[in-house]
Structure 1
Amino acid sequence: MDTGTPQGLSSSSTAGATAPAGPSLAAMMRRSEAVALPLLALIAGLAAFGVFLLLLGKSPIDFYGYVYQAGFGSAFSWENTLSRAAPLLLAALCVAIPARLGLVVIGGEGAIVLGGVAAGVTGASFPGLGLGGIALMAVAGALTGALWIGAVGWMRVRRGVNETISSLLMAYIAIALMNHFVESVFRDPASLNKPSTAPLEEAYRLADMPGMAVHWGLGIGLVACIVSYIVMERTTWGFAARIVGGNVRAAQIQGLPTGRLILGFTALAGSFAGLAGMVEVSAVHGSANGSLAAGYGYTGILIAFLARHNALAIIPVAVLLAGFEASSGLVQRRLDLPDATMLVLQGLVFVAILVSETLVGRFRLFKPETWVRA
């Protein structure tokens, strides 16, 4: 009977990779390192940004105080932060899932904007379906994103094109296509000041979750993270994907379908980014317009790396970065800082994370075998 095990991944090989009952001390220390290094990188990035503020004559204490106040200081702040976290959760998955196969896909922004356009056009073209219309929009957005990022995986498999470069270039193409669609092909004639597709009917707008002023996009993002974790960590397909990410040559020798795994998981990652575009159209904008290119795909890169591509760790990291995003307006008003200030902060944190990646395995603290000298 077919157990769903990928071709070439025999039961004996799976059993051979099964961890012993109870984690060893070495395994626990490796997990501690996976948490400690990104956390230290985050602190280092925040400290470096504090020095940057001092050079500008601004107070780092005031800055982080305003960030806390606007992002986490009240119930309203939390609702604003969580609403902004919804697309970030899905955008980060577009980076984290391919990364488990050793791929660096950074063009999720393209899948977001095209997924949003597809969802907006679909919703305006099929009115009167109620919840079925929202589901149809979600399918359109996810399918568009899957095709867009799946094409990156196809070029990698069939032509050996570097996925980092191709996904980034395709993101620029996608933004240009989005502008063309909303300003020309699918433009609503009534949208004079800001070109957009036809507005969605009220029944196609995502409602707020019970007891809080946060739309259901947050729930979609949380479910997506949980499902992604289960797929990557608790299924044979996820196990096979991790083998490909660890050593693609070894995976090929083992007989794993590396090409199909890359295509499948890049398409899955793209579907989440396309779903993020649908959430923005349905819950925030009410139509597809230029505001879809809000940089969520690029912030998702930072979130995924800070979370070490762990789908569950993406959740708190996305909330933290969403708090920074939510506080940008207050910070600009109170400290008279430009719009690009938060981008500088994100850039410094990202550089610190990249540096921390070079330090993995270099600290004796996380190597129990070096604690006692022979």
Structure 2
Amino acid sequence: MVDVTKADRMAVGQGSALADTLDRFRRSSEFVIMPILALIVSGLLFSIFLLALGKSPADFFSLVWRGGFGTSFSWQNTLVRSSPLIFTALCVAIPARLGLVIIGGEGALVLGGFAAAAIAIPMIPWAPSFLLLPVMALAAIIAGGIWIGLVGALRHYRGVNETIASLLLFYIAVSILNFFVEGALRDPSDPNKPSTMPIGRDNMIGAIPGTDVHWGLVFGIVLATLLYLLMNRTTFGFAARITGGNLRAAQAQGLPVGKLMVISCAIAGACAGLAGFFEVAAIHGKANASLIAGYGFTGILVSFLARHNPLVIVPVAIFLGGIAASGGLIQRRMDLPDATVLVLQGLIFVVLLVSETFYGRLPFFRSKGDL
């Protein structure tokens, strides 16, 4: 009789453990299913927009696939565009762990690219590429880190809203770039487009063997992995999550909230600065207005779609990079502006923000004890 009772208790315990596991799975699946649903809803709304223009949604999405992922050339074009998106999305994701909304990563990218090009100018005549490129990267990291780190300092010490501060600093960064490339650092041999002097083809970062994709993609994936470990497997990341979850509780526990904010923002800015470095050293070969390509703002969408998870940022950046890469094909085949894909990205962002209001409210994703 005793054995039967033990068996019954074990069965009940196993059933309870299974139910708890299912509840946890259902709650965690919300963070995967909701972004996917947001993408589906965005696609449906955009289809209505296309129908109103007299265009076929099926043709549009077919061209998006073909232009972004359909061929080897498309894939390489997508991966080239994905590289800066990974860096700028990390610029949003790291401060987001502390509850900070940084939207000025484009400014750190611009300033990082400019700093990399500016420091290279006096070094070009004598420095070999193996010395020049690390110095350029370091200059970009420092410039971007200081720029967004300033946002964290303003937020903690002066109470300035980090979203507004980072956006205003973007315009200041653009003004700094324009001031120098149209003045003291302008290359006189290029009268058409104000630019700094080129760093030279021999000093540029090459492509991954067998592809046209530069090494920035590899650095972005490695950096995303390292930052995931930092934010999820270290005491720094744990303290950052505590601060983001409850600022007053973090202060009550004696956590250095100000230092956490400044360091996290500096790390974020360094990531965006690296994006600027690779744009100069691997794509343009010099600093000019081409650095202002919108990667910093698209990175916001990438980070939100990835739920600020550095590892998930990589595939999401590739996905949105593919959409952006298809713009030219859509323009040629459907007689639509190249900016049509920007409309789609904006719609995805709006729907994604609306979907945030449904987290924790849908009965399917809630545990039985919460119903």
- Alignment pair present for 1:359 and 2:358: yes
In 2, the alpha carbon distance for the partners of 1:186 and 1:249 equals: 47
The one-letter code sitting in structure 2 at the alignment partner of 1:306 is L
- 1:274-302 per-position Cα deviation (integer Å, ceiling 9, x unaligned): 11000000111010011000000000001
Alignment of 1:285 onto 2:284:
yes
**1:282-361 counterparts in 2 under 5 A?**
282-361=281-360
| Cα distance in 2 between the residues matched to 1:190 and 1:286 | 15
Q: Does 1:186 align with 2:189?
A: no
Distance 1:183 1:53 in 2: 41
Rounded to whole Å, the distance in 2 between the matches of 1:280 and 1:76 is: 20
Q: For structure 1, list consecutive stretches of 5 or more residues without a partner in the other structure.
A: 1-22
Of 72, 80, 84, 1:75 maps to 72
* Higher deviation after alignment, 294-303 or 205-214: 205-214
Q: Which residue of 2 aligns with 1:9?
A: none
State the SS of the aligned residue for 1:312. helix
Counterpart amino acid of residue 240 in structure 1: A
Q: Which runs of structure 2 are paired with 1:53-72 in the superposition (5 Å)?
A: 53-72=50-69
Give the TM-score normalised by the residue count of structure 1. 0.91
Matches of 1:311 and 1:25 in 2, distance apart? 26
Q: Is the 8 A contact 1:98 1:266 kept in 2?
A: yes
Distance 1:339 1:208 in 2: 27
Q: Report the Cα distance in structure 2 between the residues aligned to 1:339 and 1:223, rounded to whole angstroms.
A: 32
More helix by share: 2
1:118 corresponds to which of 115, 118, 121: 115
Structure 1 contact 116–280 (Cα < 8 Å) conserved: yes
Q: CA RMSD in A?
A: 1.5
2:33 aligned with 1:33: no
Q: How far apart are 1:339 and its partner, in Å? A: 3.1
Query: CA separation in 2, counterparts of 1:244 and 1:129?
Result: 45
Match of 1:104 among 101, 105, 114: 101
Specify the SS of the correspondent of 1:185.
coil
Q: Tell whether the 8 Å contact from 2:116 to 2:140 is kept in structure 1 after alignment.
A: yes
CA separation in 1, counterparts of 2:360 and 2:219? 36
**2:159 & 2:86 partners in 1: Cα distance?**
29
* TM value normalised by structure 2: 0.92
In the other structure, the counterpart of 2:15 is: none
* Residue aligned with 2:358, SS: coil
Aligned to 2:249: 250
Within a 5 Å distance, the mapping from 1:126-165 to structure 2 comes to 126-127=123-124, 128-165=127-164
- Distance in 1 (CA, whole Å) between partners of 2:38 and 2:315 is 16
- Residue of structure 2 equivalent to 1:203: 202
CA contact (8 A) 1:123 1:204 kept: no
CA deviation map 1:175-227 (0-9, x unaligned) = 12111121112111111111100101223211111232210010111111111
Q: Which of the pair has more CA radius of gyration?
A: 2
After superposition, give the CA deviation of every residue in 1:229-264 in whole Å (9 maximum; x if it has no partner): 110111110010011000010000111000000000
Query: Aligned to 1:58, what secondary structure does the other structure show?
Result: coil
1:47 to 41, 44, 47: 44
What stretches of structure 2 of length at least 5 have no aligned partner?
1-19
Number of corresponding residues: 351
